[in-house]
Structure 1
Amino acid sequence: MSGGLLLGWMKDMTLNILYSSKHILHADLVDKKGTPLSISFVYGHPNLAKREREEVWTELRNLKNLAQKHWVCIGDFNQILSQEDKFSFSHRKIEGAEAFNQTLFELGLCQLKATGQNFTWMNGHGDETFVMERLDRALATVDWINSNPLYVLRNLPIIRSDHSPIILDSEFQHPFRKIPFRFEKMWLAHEGCKALIQNSWSLNSHGSKAFQFQQKLKHVKNELSSWNRNVFGKVDIQIREKQKKFQELQGSIKIVSDLKVEGKLKEDIENLMEKEEIMWAQKARSSWIIQGDRNTSYFQTLVRHRRVRNIILQVRTLEGQLLEELGDIENHFVEFFFKSFL
């Protein structure tokens, strides 16, 4: 089969196809969380001619007003986005990437991080004309990404076709792992943080200088973890609670003293929101914060992208064996470093 779209779905799923053409199938459904979802299945025009390729992007742009806030586009777009999406023995100018990038920008679609194969198509030539490209991909709105932080997009090996099958799993279950301790920059905004660290560091212990240093670090870590749970608390929960009180207070102001209480509560909310923004900026590995409107949702999206990118689903050994089970991957890492350094 070549040059078209074929869509199938399970019997227990209700799918409403709102638009169909040779290059796009657009459907609405409700996901397992009960959230309205739009999915566009795309087959980009194989002809590099600007007019024909642009017709597909125009179709896609016309779907913006039809799509839900949670929108996924997936398929063979027949277009690369940058030089990193292509491997060849010759270096030719990339055509069509600028128009494709502009279309994604206008639609507010983000590229989903994929694991597995770097390239999803190859021409199969056995000489210097050999080419590999990433043509198949999945895109989504920020709302969908934030609602599905556990998504996994897999590019499978190219075997029977010249394309790689791609699989998008919106609810991939990662095995539980204890989260390592990390110092949160937002703690510094709390007046009690400095004193806590000073008191924790004053712990007296016996042994070598290195052992005493290790014990001090361990004690500070434990005290900060306990303080974060019991004193500093969950910032997002505190914000919601104070916002609720603030809303109730604004609707019942009767005397001048109520204005002072309102002002203090507003100041507390602003401080908490600043702490929350610092926390998410740190998790996003971002060293800058845009002044003005809150950027918390932006940093949350960066964090979720980075977490997906850091997931290891497959490892190929030096002998060429492909490991996919988590236990096998962990054992291979341990064995490899044990042989290399011990």
Structure 2
Amino acid sequence: MEAKLEEDKGFEVLRRCGFWNGWEVPRVGLNGGLLLGWMPEHNLLIQHSSKNMIPANLLDHKGTPLSITFFYGHLELAKRKDVWLELLQIRKIALPNWLCIGDFDQVLNDEDKFTFHSNSIAGADLFQQTLNDLELCALKAKCQNFTWMNRREDEYFVMERLDRAFASVEWINSYPQYALHNHQIIRSDHGSILLGFEVQLPFRRRPFRLERMWSTYEDCGDVVKSEWDANTTGSRAFNLQYKINNVKRTFSEWNWRVFGKVEREIKDKQKILQTLKNSVQTLMDVRNEKILREDQENLMDGEEIKWAQKARSNWIIQDDRNTKYF
């Protein structure tokens, strides 16, 4: 990601985010800068980097070697040719099993951009030619069509697909069950993208945990008392286990009625917002998108309070936003 941080400041952010290892490219002036973090089980080998990319080699969970180039394109159109040439040099040392992912700052075709004005896609031909020379295929993404918007209003509103992933045929054959998701553009001009190499995961029932946020509701005490005072017959051990199970079951149902409503409302608004963003045609659509986005951000503020209570990292406090570091 683009860090925009002074040298050595990035590792402090990585530690706060829970990453044990990282690589930092300091910013130039007030812009740029790259920050990459990973956990110990992913042993990345990085020999060099530049202000636009961090190439790495590693072994996947099956022991298969692969190369990943984390990419950040140039903001200036005239200088993107140099970045494409650098990427061509990286290809010479990358493994056949190669993935290239990041913010390319360049659209490929008309479908990658929405605007009310003339749809200029300067630089697209050179970008496509570079991809052909690299023999890279675009990975198909789900959810949002666009990953960036200028957050302006009315006729100045623009959306583009700038963040994406490309891979060699060998990589696609190695991970046929991959899933690439374009997330909502919330609290930033970019939406995050999430790539899963293999999405088929075994189902595991979520264990019961007492949430601290439940105690903030007046009904919490009544829920415990009503179930704990239930009459039962049997040994003391049986009665104790019976009461605990009753409280657990009732709390789970109560949590779904009280707090699950917010989660469902967020998901419903996400679907509506995604549909609207993918079909913007008029100025009224732009205004409705702004209203829906602000409603969703308000709901997420309340949800963030819940997760802040769950967090074990002491740097998260009430009313703080995790995105302040990015």
Q: TM-score, normalised by structure 1?
A: 0.51
CA distance in 2, matches of 1:151, 1:137: 14
CA distance in 2, matches of 1:155, 1:20: 26
1:20 aligns with one of 49, 66, 71: 49
SS at match of 2:47: strand
Q: Which residue pairs with 1:141 in the alignment?
A: 168
| 1:43-82 map, 5 Å | 43-49=72-78, 52-82=79-109
Q: Closer, same or farther in 2 for the Cα pair 1:10/1:93, shift >3 Å?
A: same
CA distance in 2, matches of 1:103, 1:114: 21
CA distance in 2, matches of 1:61, 1:139: 14
CA distance in 2, matches of 1:318, 1:143: 36
The superposition leaves residues 56-79 of structure 1 with CA deviations (integer Å, 9 ceiling, x where unpaired) of 101100011110010000000000
Return the index of the structure with the highest Cα Rg.
1
Unaligned regions of 5+ residues in structure 1, if any? 177-315, 324-342
1:5 aligns with one of 25, 31, 34: 34
Structure 1 runs of 4+ aligned residues shifted over 3 Å read 316-323
**1:31 and 2:73 equivalent?**
no
Q: Please state how far the C-alpha of 1:18 moved relative to its aligned partner.
A: 2.8
* Partner AA of 1:90 in structure 2: H
| 1:241-252 map, 5 Å | none
1:114 aligns with one of 141, 150, 154: 141
CA distance in 2, matches of 1:144, 1:318: 32
Unaligned regions of 5+ residues in structure 2, if any? 5-31, 204-264, 273-326
**1:83 and 2:110 equivalent?**
yes
| 1:1-342 map, 5 Å | 1-2=3-4, 3-49=32-78, 52-173=79-200, 320=269, 322=271
2:146, 2:160 within 8 Å by CA — same for their partners in 1? yes
SS at match of 1:139: strand
CA distance in 2, matches of 1:321, 1:66: 41
Superposition CA RMSD, Å: 2.4
Percent identity over paired residues: 56
CA distance in 1, matches of 2:94, 2:47: 10
1:41, 1:75 within 8 Å by CA — same for their partners in 2? yes
Q: TM-score, normalised by structure 2?
A: 0.53
Q: Please state how far the C-alpha of 1:151 moved relative to its aligned partner.
A: 0.3
Q: What is the number of equivalent residue pairs in this alignment? A: 183
CA distance in 2, matches of 1:71, 1:65: 11
CA distance in 1, matches of 2:51, 2:268: 44
The superposition leaves residues 215-261 of structure 1 with CA deviations (integer Å, 9 ceiling, x where unpaired) of xxxxxxxxxxxxxxxxxxxxxxxxxxxxxxxxxxxxxxxxxxxxxxx
Q: Please state how far the C-alpha of 1:6 moved relative to its aligned partner.
A: 0.6
1:4, 1:43 within 8 Å by CA — same for their partners in 2? no
Q: Please state how far the C-alpha of 1:116 moved relative to its aligned partner.
A: 1.1
2:113, 2:119 within 8 Å by CA — same for their partners in 1? no
1:122, 1:131 within 8 Å by CA — same for their partners in 2? yes
* Partner AA of 1:60 in structure 2: L
SS at match of 1:13: coil
CA distance in 2, matches of 1:131, 1:16: 38
Q: Which residue pairs with 2:251 in the alignment?
A: none
1:153, 1:166 within 8 Å by CA — same for their partners in 2? yes
* Partner AA of 2:58 in structure 1: L
